[in-house]
Each structure stands twice: as C-alpha cells, then as structure tokens.
Structure 1
Amino acid sequence: MRTTLDFAPLYRSSIGFDRMFNLLENASRVQTIDNWPPYDIVKTGDDDYQITMAVAGFAQNELTLTHEPNLLVVSGQKAGEDDRQYLHRGLTGRSFRRRFELADHVRVAGASLVNGLLTIDLKREIPEAIKPRRIEIGTGSAATAAEPRRIEAEQKAA
C-alpha cells in the first residue's frame, strides 16, 4: 500500500515554498528506475559540486547539456545506425536523457569529456543581495536628532 502526501494545507499557510513542495511531490511519485548511464555526485567544496557520468562510446558532439532554471539535462544520441552483425553486444549505445534538479543559484561552471567520463562542474553562487550582512548599531546621538522641530511664529507687540 502506498501513501501519498497532500501538501494542499501547507500551501495555505506558507508563501514562497511552492517549489519545495513540488520537489517533494515529484520525489514521491513512482518512477521507473533507469540507472543508465551510471553517475556519481561529489561535493568538492563548500559551494562546489561535480557530476561524473560514464558515457563510454559517445563522442563529444553526441552529448548535449542543457541548463534551465533549477534543472540540468544531460542527453546522449548516437549519430548513426550501426549495420554490423554483433555476436555479443555488451556495450550499449542507446540514447539517454538524465535530469538533475538544481538548487537556487547553482550554475554549471564547466564540462569535460575525458576517457569516456563526462565531468560537469557545478558552483553555487549566492548573490550579494541575499548574503547575510552585518548591521552597524548607532549611538545615542541619533535619538536627539529625531526630536521634532518647533515652528515659532512672529509675535506682535500689543
């Protein structure tokens, strides 16, 4: 028996978390497990990550990387039909499409293909506007400057 979670009550009391709820809903769906091509995800620093995929048999021009907001798509398509008669085929050359959900402010820093391994470098760059910043606390002189000014009218002698 499978239980599905209903996030609708949380939508009513939270603002700006809809992306997180969508990710949770997507993760809870039953998906066919396709473990090809194999890959590793490594955290190489505080804000640096690396994805390494084994794409043996694919040339650089047969691979496509697409970076959309919060999504990285890696796909491979063999260029031509192979008309040879195989007695045993252990090296697969099938097309693939692998999706990686990315957090906010993660960008693709670069990619390389060496010895059948596709390496994708990712970097999280938090904009200055949302980084924590120190607020200076003023002295008591600011309170006296906030005293209201009085307007004095001319007084006439009687």
Structure 2
Amino acid sequence: MSRLTTFSSPFLLGFDDIERVLDRVSKAANDGYPPYNIERLAGGSERGDILRITLAVAGFTREQLEITLEENQLVIRGRQSEDEGDREFLHRGIAARQFQRTFVLAEGIEIRSAELKDGLLSIDLIRPEPERIVRKIDITANG
C-alpha cells in the first residue's frame, strides 16, 4: 500500500525530494542543543535578503567548531574533548559536549560570513531575489 502525501499531487511535478528533506528536518529539529535564532537583518542588499543564524556555543573555541556546506545543507559541528589535562574538578556541572546542527538551504542561498563573538556563532547568508522567468513554448503541428 503506498502512502498518499501532499507532494503526490499530479500538479506538483519534480518535487519528489521535498518530502525527504522535510522528514530529515523534522527529525533534526527534536534536538534542542545548541539553541539558535534565525533572523532577517534590516537593510538587505540589492541582491536580496540577508539572513543570520546565531547559535549559542558558549565554551567552544573557534578551533572546536566546524562549518561545512554539504550539497544544500549547512552543517555546524562542535567538538570538545573530555581531556582536561591536569585539572582536578571538585564539581563538574559543565560537561564537554559535541553537537551537530544541520540547516537545509534553498537553492541559490550563499554563505556570506561566520563570526564567533562572546559565545555566539553568527553565520550570515544571502538569499537572492528570485529571477522571474517567462518563456514562450512553441507548439508544433504533426501531420
């Protein structure tokens, strides 16, 4: 028995991958660490909107963070090691943690910059204005 979804409509041709992306995003959204904001910055450029993703990564150094773009996914990873050298803790309430946060980007979004300041990692993106394309299709006659 096949599953009937919104994207199985005969009017939505070529949108097969969207359902898989939505499933992936909903599974990743269940993890709340690290907390993050997404905002639209005022005064977007003539090229389009400027978006900023800000993650709270207190305790991570720049060397412990990694940002990669894998196909259409922005992946942010943080790795802290448990090895504290010769430190002896009487109480340890701040655990060394690892995380991976993934954001699926729309086609054409560009990464402008990334900055770590005061425990906040900010990644600026540019979402270009969509180009409006109108094309006339010629009709041929057979016979």
TM-score under structure 1 normalisation? 0.66
- Aligned partners of 1:133 and 1:105: how far apart in 2? 15
- Aligned partners of 1:42 and 1:78: how far apart in 2? 27
Contact 2:25 2:104 in 1 (8 A): no
| Percent of pairs with identical residues | 36
Larger Cα Rg: Structure 1 or Structure 2? 1
| Structure ranking higher in helix proportion | 1
In the alignment, does 2:35 pair up with 1:43? no
Aligned amino acid, residue 17 of structure 1: F
Structure 1: gaps of 5 or more residues: 136-158
Secondary structure, aligned partner of 2:88: coil
Deviations 1:60-118 (A, max 9, x none): 11110001222100001125612533233233321111111111111211100111111
Aligned amino acid, residue 95 of structure 1: Q
Contact 1:62 1:79 in 2 (8 A): no
Q: In structure 2, what is the equivalent of residue 70 of structure 1?
A: 72
TM alignment of 1:14-93, pairs within 5 A: 14-27=12-25, 33-44=30-41, 45=44, 47-78=49-80, 81-83=83-85, 84-93=87-96
Contact 1:11 1:18 in 2 (8 A): no
In the alignment, does 2:131 pair up with 1:131? yes
Give the CA RMSD over aligned residues: 2.9
Distance 1:80 1:24, change over 3 A: closer
Q: 40-49 vs 18-27, which deviates more?
A: 18-27
Alignment size in residue pairs: 127
Structure 2: gaps of 5 or more residues: 136-143
Distance 1:80 1:69, change over 3 A: same
Aligned amino acid, residue 39 of structure 1: Y
Distance 1:8 1:41, change over 3 A: closer
In the alignment, does 2:5 pair up with 1:7? yes
Contact 2:66 2:77 in 1 (8 A): yes
Distance 1:9 1:95, change over 3 A: closer
Distance 1:112 1:20, change over 3 A: same
Higher relative CO (Cα under 8 Å, sequence separation at least 6) belongs to 2
Moved over 6 A (4+): none
